[in-house]
């Protein structure tokens, strides 16, 4: 592994598993990432084998912290009770244990939305921001990460907050996938997002909202039309956030 890297990050998704060595001084990849398609049968063994293959590809030394961003709530020492984007055989499994065994070394696992939020807080759009930052990912659903003075409050599922006046589950009303499905214009979508972020603002009084997900690349089409008092900005690390955040989290956990 290249000398400028202090940690290694992996981002596990339903379609691809991406990994790269990370320079934690700059908050960027130390080498170009390696992406391997998620196997059709994305069992713990199949996914674990790919992560080991990525570690071997980059020749990651034993003493380098390895962080894995994973698409489910993560409670160290406890087994998964829900899985949406990977094979259902993950249910009842201790994720950290699976990856540590597959990689032949201790690894740190963190929820993927939390990893992305941490990356934005340490190196991206929310860098240096004190108080409460709420990072949201607008995609198939709405992912959320709460970070208070740089400390992660893990496993929040605030995309499922119930909107008033019968609008129901927020992500079923305002996710990016809903806009696409209904072929909705960005300004009209921004009205739906205003309902969501207004409620989050009321409940949490954050200092800043950060908006990530693929749609953040065209943030000028909708962000200016979200009518709330709290500052709201687009994520800057985009698809690199999961890898960088996982690597950073692993390095912090190693030093605690």
148-196 confidence digits (pLDDT tens): 999 999 999 999 999 999 999 999 999 999 999 999 999 999 999 999 9
- 217 and 182 inside one domain: yes
Domain count, the chain: 2
pTM score of the predicted model: 0.92
Q: Look up the domain containing 139 and give its range.
A: 125-235
What band does 256 get if pLDDT is binned at 50, 70 and 90? Answer: low
Q: Average pLDDT in the 78-84 region? A: 91
Tokens 């000028």 correspond to what residue? 220
Q: What is the DSSP letter of 151?
A: E
Q: Per the domain annotation, does 30 fall within a domain? A: yes
- 138 and 96 inside one domain: no
- 88 and 153 inside one domain: no
Residue 172's domain is classified under what CATH number? 3.30.420.40
Q: What is the pLDDT of residues 195-214, one digit of tens each?
A: 999 999 999 999 999 999 88
- 100 and 135 inside one domain: no
pLDDT of 14: 86
Backbone angles phi, psi at 56, to 5 degrees: -70, -40
Q: Average pLDDT in the 89-102 region? A: 97
- 49 and 138 inside one domain: no
What band does 255 get if pLDDT is binned at 50, 70 and 90? Answer: low
Nearest-angstrom CA–CA distance, 205 and 197:
10
pLDDT of 40: 93
Radius of gyration of the chain (CA): 18
- 95 and 137 inside one domain: no
Percent of the chain exceeding pLDDT 90 equals 90
Q: Which of 77, 110, 143 is a domain's end point?
A: 110
- 133 and 227 inside one domain: yes
Q: Per the domain annotation, does 250 fall within a domain? A: no
Q: Per the domain annotation, does 89 fall within a domain? A: yes
Q: Per the domain annotation, does 159 fall within a domain? A: yes
- 79 and 142 inside one domain: no
- 30 and 85 inside one domain: yes
- 225 and 131 inside one domain: yes
Q: Per the domain annotation, does 64 fall within a domain? A: yes
Classify each residue of 117-143 as buried b or exposed e, where b means 16 or more C-beta atoms within 10 Å of its C-beta: bbbbbbbbbbeebeebbbbbbbbbbbb
Q: Per the domain annotation, does 69 fall within a domain? A: yes
Q: Per the domain annotation, does 35 fall within a domain? A: yes
Q: What is the pLDDT of residues 17-40, one digit of tens each?
A: 999 999 999 999 999 999 999 999
- 199 and 148 inside one domain: yes
Q: Per the domain annotation, does 249 fall within a domain? A: no
- 69 and 159 inside one domain: no
Backbone angles phi, psi at 8, to 5 degrees: -125, 135
């Amino acid at each position: 592994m290249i000398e400028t890297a202090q940690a290694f990050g992996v981002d596990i998704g339903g379609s691809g598993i991406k990994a790269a060595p990370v320079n934690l001084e700059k908050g960027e990849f130390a080498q170009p990432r390696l992406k391997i398609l998620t196997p059709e049968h994305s069992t713990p063994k199949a996914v674990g084998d790919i992560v080991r293959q990525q570690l071997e590809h980059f020749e990651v030394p034993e003493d380098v912290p390895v962080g894995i961003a994973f698409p489910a709530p993560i409670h160290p020492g406890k087994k998964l009770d829900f899985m949406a984007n990977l094979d259902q055989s993950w249910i009842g499994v201790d994720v950290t244990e699976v990856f540590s065994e597959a990689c032949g070394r201790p690894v740190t696992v963190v929820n993927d939305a939390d990893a992305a939020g941490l990356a934005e807080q340490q190196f991206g759009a929310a860098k240096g921001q004190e108080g409460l930052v709420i990072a949201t990912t607008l995609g198939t659903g709405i992912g959320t990460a709460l970070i208070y003075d740089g400390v992660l409050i893990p496993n929040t599922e605030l995309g499922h907050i119930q909107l008033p006046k019968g609008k129901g589950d927020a992500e079923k009303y305002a996710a990016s996938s809903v806009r696409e499905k209904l072929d909705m214009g960005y300004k009209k979508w921004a009205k739906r997002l205003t309902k969501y972020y207004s409620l989050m603002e009321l409940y949490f009084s954050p200092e800043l909202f950060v908006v990530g997900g693929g749609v953040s690349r065209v943030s000028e089409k909708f962000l200016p039309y979200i009518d709330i008092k709290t500052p709201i900005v687009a994520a800057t690390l985009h698809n690199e956030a999961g890898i960088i955040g996982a690597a950073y989290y692993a390095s912090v956990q190693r030093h605690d």
